[in-house]
C-alpha cells in the first residue's frame, strides 16, 4: 500500500509539473521581454553629492493609430513599488535596471514614470527637497525614439536618460550661494536596438589622461555658408565627464552625424565636427588638449 501511495503521488507531481510548464509556455506565447534601464547626463559642478529621484510606477503604452485614442487604459504596468535612484551614480555609460516584463508582441512608443519625490544633497550636507511639478507625480510621459518593437521570444531594451543639468535647475549662483533647485525633469527615451555609442579618451599633448573633462554631443547647427554656429541648449543631446583614466562613454545614440566637444579648466576646448554613429556599433573618439597658455 505504501508503494502504491508513493506511485500515485509521483504521478500527480508529474502531471502538475507538466501542467505548470505547459501553462508557462502558453503564457509566453506571442510575447517578448522588455528591459527598461535608466542613466543620466551629470551636473557640471563639484558641489552636489547626490540627486535622488523616487519613482513608484513604470508604465508603457502600446502604439495607437491616432493620438486622440490615448487614455489611461492605453498604458500597461511594468513595475510598481517605491524605487529610490541616485542619478549621480549612473554616469559614463553606467545604467540601472528600472523594470522588466513580458509584453505582447507589437510596437510601443511611450513610457510613463510616476515620480513622487526628488532630493538634492550637497557635499556640505545641505539637503533640498524639491517640489514635484503638477502632473509629474501622475505620470511623466517619455516618447521613445524610435518606437520599441517587441518580437516573440526576443528581448528588447530601452534607455531612459535623465538630463540632470536641465532637470535640476539651480536657484542662485553656483559660484556663490545656492538658493535651492527647481525640478523640471527632462528625460530622453531611446530604443537600444536602434542605437549606437561613442567611447573615447581625453588627454593632454603628452598623453597624460585628463579627468573630469566635460564631453558633450550636439546636433550640428549650420549657418547659410555651411559653417557651424554657436551651440545652444536645444542642440545638446547628451554629455558626460571623463573618469580618472580620461575615458568616457556616451550611450543610447541614434544613427546620425554629430558634433563632439570637450572642455576642462586649464586647457583649450576640443572639437570634432563630423562624428558618425551607426546602430549596434561603437564609434571611437580621441582628444588631445593643448594647455590654454600654449601659443
As for how many domains the chain has, the answer is 2
Domain co-membership, 177 together with 254: no
Q: Could you tell me if residue 259 is inside a domain?
A: yes
Domain co-membership, 269 together with 210: yes
Domain co-membership, 261 together with 149: no
Domain co-membership, 160 together with 206: no
Q: Could you tell me if residue 101 is inside a domain?
A: yes
> Are 109 and 84 contacting, i.e. CB atoms less than 8 angstroms apart?
no
pLDDT score at 8: 41
| Residues of the domain holding 141 | 31-194
Q: Could you tell me if residue 127 is inside a domain?
A: yes
Domain co-membership, 157 together with 182: yes
Rounded to the nearest 5 degrees, what angle is found at the Cα of 234, between the Cα atoms of 230 and 237? 100
pLDDT score at 136: 63
> Are 189 and 158 contacting, i.e. CB atoms less than 8 angstroms apart?
yes
Q: Which residue has the cell 576640443?
A: 270
Residue 17 burial by CB count (10 A; 0-12/13-18/19+): exposed, middle or buried?
A: exposed
Q: Could you tell me if residue 26 is inside a domain?
A: no
Q: Could you tell me if residue 19 is inside a domain?
A: no
Domain co-membership, 39 together with 114: yes
Q: Could you tell me if residue 295 is inside a domain?
A: no
Domain co-membership, 109 together with 174: yes
Last residue of a domain, one of 174, 194, 214: 194
Q: Could you tell me if residue 260 is inside a domain?
A: yes
Last residue of a domain, one of 194, 217, 251: 194
pLDDT score at 25: 45
Domain co-membership, 49 together with 105: yes
Domain co-membership, 261 together with 145: no
Here the CATH number for the domain that contains residue 200 is 2.60.40.1120
Domain co-membership, 174 together with 37: yes
Domain co-membership, 79 together with 190: yes
Q: Could you tell me if residue 14 is inside a domain?
A: no
Distance CA 98, CA 228 (A): 38
Last residue of a domain, one of 129, 162, 194: 194
pTM over 0.85? The answer is no
Domain co-membership, 284 together with 149: no
> Are 112 and 140 contacting, i.e. CB atoms less than 8 angstroms apart?
yes
pLDDT digits (tens), the chain, 295 positions: 444 343 344 444 444 444 444 444 445 578 999 999 988 766 666 778 899 999 999 999 998 766 555 556 689 999 999 999 999 889 888 999 999 999 999 999 999 999 999 999 988 888 999 988 866 656 899 999 999 989 999 999 999 999 888 888 888 765 567 778 889 898 999 999 999 999 999 999 999 999 999 999 998 876 665 566 667 777 889 999 999 999 999 999 999 999 999 999 999 999 998 999 999 999 999 999 999 887 6
Amino acid at each position: 500500500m505504501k508503494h502504491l501511495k508513493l506511485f500515485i503521488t509521483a504521478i500527480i507531481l508529474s502531471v502538475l509539473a507538466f501542467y505548470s510548464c505547459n501553462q508557462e509556455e502558453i503564457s509566453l506565447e506571442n510575447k517578448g521581454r522588455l528591459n527598461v534601464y535608466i542613466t543620466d547626463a551629470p551636473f557640471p559642478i563639484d558641489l552636489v553629492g547626490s540627486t535622488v529621484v523616487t519613482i513608484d510606477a513604470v508604465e508603457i503604452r502600446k502604439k495607437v493609430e491616432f493620438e486622440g485614442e490615448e487614455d489611461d487604459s492605453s498604458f500597461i504596468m511594468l513595475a510598481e513599488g517605491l524605487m529610490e535612484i541616485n542619478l549621480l551614480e549612473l554616469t559614463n555609460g553606467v545604467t540601472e535596471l528600472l523594470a522588466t516584463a513580458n509584453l505582447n508582441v507589437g510596437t510601443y512608443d511611450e513610457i510613463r514614470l510616476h515620480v513622487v519625490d526628488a532630493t538634492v544633497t550637497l557635499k556640505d550636507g545641505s539637503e533640498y527637497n524639491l517640489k514635484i511639478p503638477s502632473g509629474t507625480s501622475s505620470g511623466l510621459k517619455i516618447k521613445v525614439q524610435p518606437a520599441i518593437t517587441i518580437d516573440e521570444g526576443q528581448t528588447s531594451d530601452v534607455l531612459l536618460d535623465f538630463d540632470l543639468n536641465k532637470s535640476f535647475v539651480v536657484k542662485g549662483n553656483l559660484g556663490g550661494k545656492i538658493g535651492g533647485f527647481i525640478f523640471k525633469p527632462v528625460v530622453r527615451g531611446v530604443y537600444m536596438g536602434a542605437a549606437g555609442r561613442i567611447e573615447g579618451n581625453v588627454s593632454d599633448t603628452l598623453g597624460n589622461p585628463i579627468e573630469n573633462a566635460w564631453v558633450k554631443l550636439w546636433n550640428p547647427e549650420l549657418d547659410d555658408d555651411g559653417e557651424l554656429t554657436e551651440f545652444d541648449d536645444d542642440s545638446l543631446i547628451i554629455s558626460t565627464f571623463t573618469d580618472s583614466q580620461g575615458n568616457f562613454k556616451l550611450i543610447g545614440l541614434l544613427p546620425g552625424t554629430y558634433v563632439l566637444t570637450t572642455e576642462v579648466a586649464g586647457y583649450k576646448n576640443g572639437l570634432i565636427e563630423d562624428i558618425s554613429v551607426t546602430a549596434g556599433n561603437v564609434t571611437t573618439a580621441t582628444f588631445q588638449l593643448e594647455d590654454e597658455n600654449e601659443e
